[in-house]
Amino acid sequence: MNTNDPAAFQKHIRIYLGVFVALLAGTLLTVAISYVHFGHAGNIAVALVIATLKAALVAGFFMHLLSEKKSIYTVLGFTAFFFLGLLVLTVWSMQDHPELTASLPPPLPATAGTHHVP
């Protein structure tokens, strides 16, 4: 970034503020949508998609991954591979014990008034 240009500074601040507002909106959307029933898997998928988009905003703009050097992308590529491997292997291993996954109870209906406040 051009560190001597006040206009460039203002531009960066506007971008950061835009990301901040999007993150707050995403959080409220995640909460609101959790009260809509898309089915057990549907609710999980929707929440994780929103969380992934929010994480992408943080990584892309606050952590400047959108304009990072290739060496960092290489490190993160390996990390993503092993991270996904870890998750996939866990889920895959469950196939060896189908009786453990057969007892999933249906989720209780979540309503705004029923969450306990300590």
Partner 1 sequence: MDIPHTVQPREDTGLFNAKVGIWLFLASEVMLFGALFSSYILLRVGSPNWLYGAAKDLSVPLGTFNTGVLITSSITMVMAWASLKFNDYGRFKLYLGLTILCGLAFLLIKAFEYYGKFQHGHWPGSHTFYAIYFTLTGLHALHVLGGMAVNTYLWGPGARLWATDPERFTNRIEVAGLFWHFVDLVWIFLFPVLYLL
Supply 46's token pair: 């929707």
Q: 3-state SS of 68-106?
A: CCHHHHHHHHHHHHHHHHHHHHHHHHHHHCHHHHCCCCC
CB of 30 to partner 1, least distance (A): 5
Residues 57-96 that bind partner 1 (CB under 8 A): 58-59, 61-63, 69-72, 75-76, 78-79, 82-83, 86-87, 90-91, 93-94
Residues 14-33 that bind partner 1 (CB under 8 A): 16-17, 19-20, 23-24, 27-28, 30-31
Q: Say how many residues make up the chain.
A: 118
Q: Please select the residue that binds partner 1; options are 48, 67, 92, 96, rule is CB under 8 A.
A: 48
DSSP letter string, 29-72: HHHHHHTS---HHHHHHHHHHHHHHHHHHIIIIIS-GGG--HHH
Q: Quick check: 110 binds partner 1 (CB under 8 A)?
A: yes
Distance between CA atoms of residues 115 and 93, nearest Å: 34
- Where does this chain bind partner 1 (CB under 8 A)? 1, 3, 6, 9, 12-13, 16-17, 19-20, 23-24, 27-28, 30-31, 34, 43-44, 47-48, 50-51, 54-55, 58-59, 61-63, 69-72, 75-76, 78-79, 82-83, 86-87, 90-91, 93-94, 97, 100-101, 103-105, 107-112, 114-118
